Amino acid sequence: MRLDRADSKRYRLPIQVLVYCYRPIEGRNKYLMLRRTPKLGGFWQGVTGAPEGAETLLAAASRELFEETQRSPRNLRQVDFRYSFPPDDDWKWAYDPDVSSIDEYVFVAKIAGDAEPRLSFEHDSFEWAEFDRAIGLLKWHNNRKALEYCDQLLQKDGLDAPS
């Protein structure tokens, strides 16, 4: 977050990370979908959050994954997919008034086959979902496109291949 000297308000950076966690189950990838609490929108998503201070995107993705699930990935990498969107009206208070766009960078993380998440206060439910089910759960178009990209990448060369 940035400190605005005029009113001493801390603003969130206009950058986010989105992490799609997966694990192979019976030869098929299942994706971890998290449902936000009703107070925070009640919609399904992957792990999301913003870098703090001078934190790198990779460090932010790793930290957010641990904060939201209490899990560390076997492998985590940034994929060649990103997009921008305007701040949602419900979140404009968190950003500098001059922010008109938020850049979101996408990551994919392989999770151990038996690891179940322990959810933070932000989420009230989780599901390990096959691709078609996961796509159907997601609210945001950009999140669906990002998951499609990650799924195609994993089908092509998997996460264990060199970046």
d(CA 82, CA 104): 6
Under CATH, what is the fold of the domain 2-156? Nucleoside Triphosphate Pyrophosphohydrolase (3.90.79)
Give the SS3 label for residue 73.
coil
**What is the model's pLDDT at position 27?**
81
Give whole-number Cα distances, 131 to 62, 84, 147, in Å: 22, 23, 8
Amino acid identity of 34? L
d(CA 55, CA 5): 22
**More confident site: 24 or 157:** 24
Q: Which pLDDT tens digit goes with each residue over 44-93?
A: 999 999 999 899 999 999 999 999 999 988 899 999 999 999 988 888 88
- What is the pTM (predicted TM-score) of this model? 0.88
Q: Which pLDDT tens digit goes with each residue over 111-127?
A: 887 878 999 999 999 99
d(CA 99, CA 92): 9
Closest to 77 in 3D by CA, of 109, 44, 29: 109
Beta bridge partners of 121: none
